[in-house]
């Protein structure tokens, strides 16, 4: 398996968040997407321990772009006996898409996962006083 390019360890400030520079070797579109992510609200919850899986996600995005480009205008190719078959890279594309979907859910990249994380983040940000207030109110409701 080819080694994926590593992001530079030198962070840059994007919207008040320290964002690592994109990995050398990523396509321009992947680098733009990386910068867009770091400028988003979702990036505010990223912790240092999240960086490696995030780099993996963007490396997968980069690989997906390269596979799609390789398939290009030849989605059907000749098989071993000359019969038309789907381009063999579709199998790898499907595996990459599955890996991407799993990581997107973990980092709130899709709308549904963002909503799920929003609930979790909102609960996480509650202060101890807020939690105590909820308990008092709940206790007062009990008969």
Supply 55's token pair.
């780099």
- Show me where the domains of the chain are located: 11-72+80-109
pLDDT higher than threshold 70 for residue 129: no
Q: State mean pLDDT over 2-23.
A: 58
- Decide if 56 contacts 103 (C-beta within 8 A): yes
Tell me the C-alpha distance between 25 and 11, whole Å: 17
Residues β-bridged to residue 77: 85
pLDDT digits (tens, 9 = 90+) for 40-68: 878 888 888 999 999 999 999 999 999 99
Which of 17-21, 35-39, 124-128, 135-139 has the lowest average pLDDT? 124-128
User: Can you name the residues that pair with 20 across neighbouring β-strands?
Assistant: 11
Q: Name the pTM for this structure.
A: 0.71
Number of residues that make up the chain: 143
Q: Which residue has the tokens 């063999």?
A: 88
Q: Which two tokens stand for residue 56?
A: 């993996």
Q: Give me the DSSP letters along 40-67.
A: SGGGGG--GGGHHHHHHHHHHHHHHHHH
List the one residue out of 97, 96, 78, 98 whose CA is nearest residue 88.
Answer: 78
143 versus 104: which is more confidently predicted?
104
Tens digits of per-residue pLDDT, 80-125? 999 999 999 999 999 999 999 999 998 888 888 878 877 565 555 5
Query: For residue 18, what are its two tokens?
Result: 């320290």
Beta pairing partners, 13: 18
């Amino acid at each position: 398996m080819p080694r994926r390019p590593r992001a530079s360890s030198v962070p840059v400030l994007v919207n008040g968040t320290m964002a690592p520079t994109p990995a050398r070797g990523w396509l321009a579109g992947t680098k733009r997407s990386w910068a867009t992510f770091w400028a988003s609200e979702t990036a505010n919850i990223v912790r240092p321990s999240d960086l490696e899986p995030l780099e993996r996600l963007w490396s997968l995005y980069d690989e997906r772009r390269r596979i799609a480009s390789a398939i290009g205008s030849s989605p059907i190719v000749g098989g071993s006996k000359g019969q038309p078959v789907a381009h063999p890279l579709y199998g790898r594309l499907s595996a990459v898409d599955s890996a991407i979907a799993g990581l997107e859910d973990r980092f709130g990249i899709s709308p549904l996962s963002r909503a799920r994380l929003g609930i979790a983040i909102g609960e996480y940000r509650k202060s101890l006083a807020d939690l105590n207030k909820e308990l008092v109110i709940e206790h007062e409701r009990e008969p």
